Amino acid sequence: MLLSLARFNRILAVDTRARTARVQPGVRNLAISQAVEHLGLYYAPDPSSQIACTIGGNVAENSGGVHCLKYGLTVHNVLALEIVTMDGERLSIGGASLDAPGYDLLALLSGSEGMLGVIVEVTVRLLARPASASLLLAAFDDVERAGSAVAAIIAGGIVPGGLEMMDNPALRAAEGFVHAGYPLEAAALLLCELDGTAEEVAEQSRRVEELLRESGAQQVRVARDERERALLWSGRKAAFPAVGRLSPDYYCMDGTIPRAQLGHVLRRINEMSAEHGLAVANVFHAGDGNLHPLILYDAAQPGELQRAEAFGARILELCVACGGTITGEHGVGVEKIDQMCVQFRAPELAQFHAVKAAFDPAGLLNPGKAVPTLARCAEFGRMHVHGGTLAHPELERF
C-alpha cells in the first residue's frame, strides 16, 4: 500500500459539542486552529513550525510548543488514532471517551517515530479560547537568575500558559529578524503568558511580576495590547530561523531536564561551548525544562561538523545525568541512537525491541530508525556492564 500525505490533508469533521476534530495526518498543525477559530476553539500544541508541520508528524514525534506547559504535549491532546499496521490491517486506537480498556496504545503510538504503524487519521481535542491573556517580558543580567525565576513561578503555584526563555545570542538574533522590542543588553529573556478569566489573569500577573523582580529581573513589562503580545511571541517563534543569521550552519539539540537544574545546565553548556570552540544560542521551553541549544558551526570548515556533533552528544548526556532525557519533542531518529545507550539499561532496551517486534516483526517500518542493540551500546564504548545491566560511568558521579 502506497500512502501519500498529499492525499491525506483534509479536516474530516469537527464536533463542537464534544470539542474534537477528526483530521488526516497531512493537515498542518496551524490549519486546525484556523478552521475552528470562528467557533471560539483552537488546538493547543503549537510547535514553532506549526505553520508547516503536520499533525501526523506531531503525533510521531509527540511535539510540544510554547503553550504546552499548561495544556500538555501532543499525547495529551489526541483522543484517537487510526493506523495501518505493516501487514495492512487498519486499527482504531483510543476513542471519544475519557479512557479506553486495555493497554494504553495511544500513548505508545505517540512519539513512536513511524516505527510501529502508519498514521492515517487523528482525533484531536479542541479547547475554548481563554477569555483573557496577558504576556510579561522579563530581562535578566544572568541566565542562572532567569532559570531560578522559572522555578520560583512554578513553586508559587502558578502554571502559565507559556513560559519561554532565550539567552542573549538567541534574543539578539530574533530581535534583528523580527524587531519585537527585546532588550538587547539582557543576558536572558523570559516570556511568561497567563490566561483565564480577566480577574484570574490580573491577579496572577501581579504575583508573577513580584516573583520575577524577587528573582533578580532588571526589567519587567507587560504587553500593552494584543498586537504587542503577538509581536513579542513572534520573536520567540522565529528564533530558530533567526539564529541562521549568526552562522552558516547550526545544529539544533533537544533534551529535557528538571526545572531546578536549568541554571546548572546552562552554565555547563557555556563551559562546553568554550571547550569545543563553538558558540551556542539557547532557546527553550523553560517551564517544562525542554532545552533547544543551537550549536553554531560552519560545515565548510574541516572538522567543525564533527565538533558540533560531539558537543551535542555531551549536552544530551548532561541532561540524563541531571535526571532528564535525551529528547523532549524532536525524537531520537538516527542522531541520538548512541545516547539511548546512556539513558536506558539492558532490560529496558530489550523491552523496546519486544514492542517493535510485536508491531513489526520483520523490521520494515521506517528502517532508518532503530532501537540500539546491546552490541551497539558496547561498541559505543561509553558503557560497561554493572550488576547485569549497562551503565554509563558519567552517571555514577550524580
| Tens of pLDDT, residues 292-326 | 999 999 999 999 999 999 999 999 999 999 999 99
Report pTM: 0.88
* Average pLDDT estimate for 39-45: 97
* Mean local confidence (pLDDT), 338-348: 93
Grid cell locating 184: 538587547
Tens of pLDDT, residues 210-236: 999 999 999 999 999 999 999 999 999
- Identify which of 200, 219, 218 has the alpha carbon closest to the alpha carbon of residue 160: 200
The chain-wide mean pLDDT, for the chain, equals 91
Helix (H, G, I), strand (E, B) or coil at 196: strand
State residue 398's pLDDT score.
36
> What is the C-alpha separation between 74 and 65, in angstroms, rounded?
9
The band of 340, judged by pLDDT with boundaries at 50, 70 and 90, is very high
Residue 14 CA to residue 34 CA, distance in Å, equals 12
Q: How does residue 386 score in pLDDT terms, banded at 50, 70 and 90?
A: very low
Confidence of residue 194 (pLDDT cuts 50, 70, 90): very high
Per-residue pLDDT at 16: 96
Q: What is the pLDDT at residue 381?
A: 64
